A and B are shown apart, each in its own frame.
Chain A
Amino acid sequence: MSGAAPLSFYIHIPYCVKRCGYCDFNTYTPSELKDGGTLADVSGDYIDLLLKEVEQAAREVPNALPVPTIFFGGGTPTLMEPADLGRVLNAIEGSFGFAPDIEITIEANPDTVTLEKLQALRQIGINRVSFGMQSAVPHVLQVLDRTHNPENVTKATNWAREAGFEHVSVDLIYGIPGESIADWQKSIDTALSLPIDHISAYALIVETGTKLANQVKRGEIVMPDDDETADKYLLADSAFRTGGFGWYELSNWARAGGECRHNVAYWLGANWWGLGPGAHSHIDGKRWWNVKHPTAYRDRMIANESPAQDSETLSAEEKESERIMLAIRMPAGIPLATLDSPTHERLLPYVTSGALDENAWQAGSVVLTASGRLIADRIVREILL
């Protein structure tokens, strides 16, 4: 592997206190990992394992340029002691060096952070925090199985600013059963009133195997109509833009300079290394992913083996598919010059129907309008045929 490019890091923390009904992330409650176990029991040596993987990364990608972005995701990364997270950062910095403008993000639960905790996280070099807000409406949060008090988000974001975080983001979810347009409007308005520079908003997806999926299957919960969810997207997009947040990816809006550079790295096909169970990595067209279960991961690391479960080396065609499907999600879109003329023909009806931006098309790019973003996958299929 050459990897002579900046290398980003994703660090997975696979623990949560409780599993939310809609969540299919690779995360575990302590008791799922060990009968009657506490967080300390199950995560005690986890940081050491991550450090081992950093060493592996250093051996594998010795030519990497300094690290531009790091992202602590989960799970609930704030369950770990800031000092412990700091050890991982030190190890990465020691091996690869940090770019001077490094962005280091952590996902946080607005209910469990305190000012002190945020200060400690800031202390170890983390400069961006992303809060899982989801909704400002209690009955909607209840459907998601999230019990937090909406007020906490206001408190948490203010503390984050007080603690000195340069970038603060919130995640929202819409298209939730029982959520009215007015409810969603309230979440939008609340988010816009916060001291933040970034918003992610995702349509709720019913993932198989989740509690929510079972509830839907049993008919206890009815998913809202797709058209209404589409309306909510348009509502949010226009409100965010009016509020000073531009879209820079299908589900992400930011004030100028507030874009999450770590995520942009994913979408531009940059190199990154994912640490921890189930984490994915990508270096120069090769993707691999670690064994999923924390115990399996521990076994691999203790045996000084690679935690990779499997890998794929992308063919030219696969690289092209990824380029199309990722680039179209961003405002720069796809240069028309990179697509052949039958594809242009197939896309023309989408210009006519208003799914593709007419001005951008004239200027030589395939760029989605707000309503076009809602059918992005269909347009990608049209391009890839």
Chain B
Amino acid sequence: MPAIPLAKAPQPSATDPAQIRNFCIIAHIDHGKSTLADRMLGITEVVEQRNMRAQYLDRMDIERERGITIKSQAVRLPWRSGIDGKEYILNMIDTPGHVDFTYEVSRSLAACEGAILLVDCAQGIEAQTLANLYLAMENNLTIIPVLNKIDLPAAQPEKFAEELAKLIGCKPEDCLRVSGKTGDGVVELLDQIVELIPAPVGDANAPARALIFDSVYDTYRGVVTYVRVVDGHLSTRDQIQMFSTGVRHEMLEVGVISPEPVVSKGLGVGEVGYVITGVKDVRQSRVGDTITTYNHPAQTALAGYKDPKPMVFSGLFPLDGADYPLLREALDKLQLNDAALVFEPESSAALGFGFRCGFLGLLHMEIVRERLEREAGLSLISTAPSVVYRVFRDDGKEMIVTNPSEFPDGKIARVDEPIVRATVLAPAEFIGTIMELCQERRGTLLGMDYLSEDRVEIRYTLPLAEIVFDFFDQLKSRTKGYASLDYEPIGEAEGDLVKVDILLQGEHVDAFSAIVHKDKAYAYGVMMTSKLRELIPRQQFEVPIQAAIGSRIIARESIRAIRKDVLAKCYGGDISRKRKLLEKQKEGKKRMKMVGRVEVPQEAFIAALTTDADADKAKKAK
């Protein structure tokens, strides 16, 4: 029996590093990471059969529904190897799977010695997998290539074994074959983890150093910080200190997750577990930071700490202005658990009071918005996402612009914008389409490789702003959903950028301003003015809608004055009906936002700020 009862297994704080294997699973969304993790929990018997449920480790509702993992988890799995018959502790670290969380992924990887590269053998490797694989290789992890879903009729294990072998430089026969669904091959995989992945190495007698690879706010227990001990020992008796902040904390609890929290005396070299220190906010216990003990502090931090840096900004406004305090409260609460989320108050002439929020990327933005709406019951309008521009004025002054409405009007010497390196994986038949799209989006081709006969990896540099616009939706629709995308920031570059303003009857509508490439300013202007013409109801007077760069008008439309707004009949029974209708319309009038003298219904703002792709999503969600 390869599973070991927890009580009889090597105990935390007293496990020889030689018995420990720390690994993570790298997989593209839907390639079966959560399902495989479920099987591992079952086979190692840390979760009893009757308590098992699908996606056991994905805790948040939003994760379960979207099938994505936002926050990683670390699970301690005792295992007796079928090869040498000895007892081991496998720590499975579940990494977040999306491009926005690359830094968090890299910290999870840094806590491991090995990675399972899990590939759906009906799909093949995807851009996401590739990006994370490169990260794992950079961290010198041992890679175990695993083909999943071998039970599927459409499985092509031979084909994808070739692909994997070529990619990581192994032999096709080295790829393990499993089915997370049936459990086939999972026992062998656990044994191979023991065989192939090196045991952690560290100095048990040195001052303690532990890497924070995750930090989660818990309503009842405060912040739970997940750590991997590199040197020394952490115990409940210690006071600890964070390297980046220098702040000292009491150690209230130390433990491991198996997969429910189990309190332990401490954690030794190579072990993975959690500490609770009473901090109330994840920003005091940041991913990537090093924990040491206060009494015997280490001299140097573990490498690789970075402050999370928001890449995408958007204004969030409550639909009902009265909800502003609620929105603030909800953002404060989310920030307890999200060190990457930043926000500051913003006021818009058109949308009222709200917050300018910074996110790691589009998914992060969507998740935050969804959580605000779901958990705080708020209805929100969000403005079009913007990247961070560095604007150099003629007078030599430099400013950071995250909100198009703050883009300076005066003379500008130069504007720099963030650039990413994007990797697209797709069937070879879409090469032309993808290159066309990247070209339209100001991309520069870096290179292209065939992963197999009919699948290619295409690499481009692209302005992040183009990706943020609707690149991903376009890529998916133009490749019938077959292409996958990954990107990472690589710096900034000068862009030929201008701010396009939208004017209603000569009045600026701040919420609709956008910073766009000069060549696309006209298209943006035409798109926005004609959209608004459809959305804004006719007024008592003609309303010109203009798009302008500075004082130069680049597109115009107009809404004709209304000529008919009356119900023809009003007899006996119509009177109360009509009065009630008027009362309703009066309410509607109150919800109108005034832009100068123009009444703009809130729905028009929402619709104008929503891309077509968003609108489709919203429709599907209904």
| Cβ–Cβ contact A287 & B568, under 8 A | no
| Cβ–Cβ contact B576 & A312, under 8 A | yes
| Cβ–Cβ contact B540 & A378, under 8 A | yes
Query: In angstroms, how far is the closest chain B Cβ from the Cβ of A20?
Result: 15
- A23→B562 CA distance, assembly (Å): 27
B518 within 8 A of A: no
User: Per-residue 0/1 for B548-591: is the Cβ within 8 Å of any A Cβ (1 yes, 0 no)?
Assistant: 00000000000011111111111111011011001101100100
A256 within 8 A of B: no
B541 within 8 A of A: yes
| Cβ–Cβ contact B582 & A381, under 8 A | yes
| Cβ–Cβ contact A374 & B568, under 8 A | no
- A380→B566 CA distance, assembly (Å): 10
B residues 506-560 with Cβ under 8 Å of A? 540-541, 560
**Given that A375-B565, A378-B565 are contacting pairs, would A289 and B578 also be in contact in the complex, using a CB cutoff of 8 Å?**
no
Residues of A within 8 Å of B541, CB to CB, are 349, 353
| Cβ–Cβ contact A384 & B582, under 8 A | yes
**Given that A374-B563, A381-B589, A384-B586 are contacting pairs, would A272 and B579 also be in contact in the complex, using a CB cutoff of 8 Å?**
no
A residues 343-379 with Cβ under 8 Å of B? 349-350, 353, 355, 371, 373-378
| Cβ–Cβ contact A227 & B564, under 8 A | yes
- A227→B586 CA distance, assembly (Å): 24
Residues of B within 8 Å of A371, CB to CB, are 563
Residues of B within 8 Å of A385, CB to CB, are 586, 589
Best-surrounded residue of B541, B562, B564, B571 (most CB of chain A within 10 A) = B564
| Cβ–Cβ contact A287 & B576, under 8 A | yes
Residues of A within 8 Å of B575, CB to CB, are 266, 280, 282, 287, 322, 326
**Given that A321-B583, A325-B578 are contacting pairs, would A375 and B562 also be in contact in the complex, using a CB cutoff of 8 Å?**
yes
A residues 224-256 with Cβ under 8 Å of B? 226-227, 229-230, 233, 250-251
- A272→B571 CA distance, assembly (Å): 12
Residues of A within 8 Å of B583, CB to CB, are 321
- A229→B561 CA distance, assembly (Å): 15
- A114→B220 CA distance, assembly (Å): 87
Residues of B within 8 Å of A202, CB to CB, are 568-569
Cβ contact of A375, chosen from B563, B572, B589, cutoff 8 A: B563
Residues of B within 8 Å of A46, CB to CB, are none
- A349→B597 CA distance, assembly (Å): 11
| Cβ–Cβ contact B569 & A251, under 8 A | yes
| Cβ–Cβ contact A322 & B570, under 8 A | no
**Given that A282-B572, A353-B540, A385-B586 are contacting pairs, would A230 and B578 also be in contact in the complex, using a CB cutoff of 8 Å?**
no
> CB-nearest residue of chain A relative to B585?
A381
- A279→B572 CA distance, assembly (Å): 8
| Cβ–Cβ contact B569 & A350, under 8 A | no
> CB-nearest residue of chain A relative to B567?
A377
| Cβ–Cβ contact B563 & A280, under 8 A | no
Query: In angstroms, how far is the closest chain A Cβ from the Cβ of B572?
Result: 5
Residues of A within 8 Å of B564, CB to CB, are 203, 226-227, 229-230, 233, 374-375
A68 within 8 A of B: no
| Cβ–Cβ contact B563 & A376, under 8 A | no
| Cβ–Cβ contact A280 & B540, under 8 A | no
Best-surrounded residue of B540, B541, B563, B571 (most CB of chain A within 10 A) = B563
Residues of B within 8 Å of A380, CB to CB, are 582
A interface size (C-beta, 8 A): 44
User: Per-residue 0/1 for B93-134: is the Cβ within 8 Å of any A Cβ (1 yes, 0 no)?
Assistant: 000000000000000000000000000000000000000000
A274 within 8 A of B: yes
A278 within 8 A of B: yes
A198 within 8 A of B: no
| Cβ–Cβ contact A10 & B563, under 8 A | no
- A350→B541 CA distance, assembly (Å): 10
Query: In angstroms, how far is the closest chain A Cβ from the Cβ of B591?
Result: 13
Residues of A within 8 Å of B567, CB to CB, are 205, 377
**Given that A230-B563, A371-B563 are contacting pairs, would A318 and B579 also be in contact in the complex, using a CB cutoff of 8 Å?**
yes
> CB-nearest residue of chain A relative to B578?
A325
| Cβ–Cβ contact B568 & A325, under 8 A | no
A38 within 8 A of B: no
Residues of B within 8 Å of A378, CB to CB, are 540, 562, 565-566
Residues of B within 8 Å of A353, CB to CB, are 540-541, 561
Residues of B within 8 Å of A384, CB to CB, are 582, 586
Query: In angstroms, how far is the closest chain B Cβ from the Cβ of A221?
Result: 19
Residues of B within 8 Å of A349, CB to CB, are 540-541
B residues 573-619 with Cβ under 8 Å of A? 573, 575-576, 578-579, 582-583, 585-586, 589
**Given that A325-B579, A353-B540, A385-B589 are contacting pairs, would A373 and B566 also be in contact in the complex, using a CB cutoff of 8 Å?**
yes
- A380→B583 CA distance, assembly (Å): 11
Query: In angstroms, how far is the closest chain A Cβ from the Cβ of B101?
Result: 46
| Cβ–Cβ contact B582 & A377, under 8 A | yes
| Cβ–Cβ contact B568 & A251, under 8 A | yes
Best-surrounded residue of A233, A325, A353 (most CB of chain B within 10 A) = A325
- A279→B574 CA distance, assembly (Å): 11
A146 within 8 A of B: no
Cβ contact of A278, chosen from B565, B573, B585, B589, cutoff 8 A: B573
| Cβ–Cβ contact A329 & B582, under 8 A | no
Query: In angstroms, how far is the closest chain A Cβ from the Cβ of B503?
Result: 20
- A74→B517 CA distance, assembly (Å): 65
Cβ contact of A10, chosen from B565, B572, B585, B589, cutoff 8 A: B572
**Given that A274-B573, A349-B540, A381-B589 are contacting pairs, would A321 and B568 also be in contact in the complex, using a CB cutoff of 8 Å?**
no
Cβ contact of B570, chosen from A227, A287, A326, A350, cutoff 8 A: A326
| Cβ–Cβ contact A321 & B582, under 8 A | yes
User: Per-residue 0/1 for A270-300: is the Cβ within 8 Å of any B Cβ (1 yes, 0 no)?
Assistant: 0010100011101000010100000000000
- A359→B529 CA distance, assembly (Å): 39
**Given that A321-B583, A353-B540 are contacting pairs, would A280 and B565 also be in contact in the complex, using a CB cutoff of 8 Å?**
no
- A274→B572 CA distance, assembly (Å): 9
Q: What are 20 A-B residue pairs whose CB atoms fall within 8 Å in the complex? A: A202-B568, A226-B564, A250-B566, A251-B569, A266-B572, A280-B572, A280-B573, A280-B576, A289-B573, A318-B579, A329-B570, A355-B540, A374-B564, A374-B565, A375-B563, A376-B566, A377-B582, A381-B586, A384-B582, A385-B589
**Chain A residues within CB distance 8 Å of chain B:** 10, 202-203, 205, 226-227, 229-230, 233, 250-251, 263, 266-267, 272, 274, 278-280, 282, 287, 289, 312, 318, 321-322, 325-326, 329, 349-350, 353, 355, 371, 373-378, 380-381, 384-385
Report, nearest first, the 9 A-B pairs whose CB atoms are least far apart. Answer: A280-B573, A230-B563, A202-B568, A378-B565, A376-B566, A230-B564, A226-B564, A375-B565, A203-B568
**Chain B residues within CB distance 8 Å of chain A:** 540-541, 560-573, 575-576, 578-579, 582-583, 585-586, 589
A279-B573, A376-B566, A378-B565 given; name 8 further pairs at CB < 8 Å. A10-B572, A227-B563, A227-B564, A274-B572, A280-B573, A325-B570, A353-B561, A375-B562
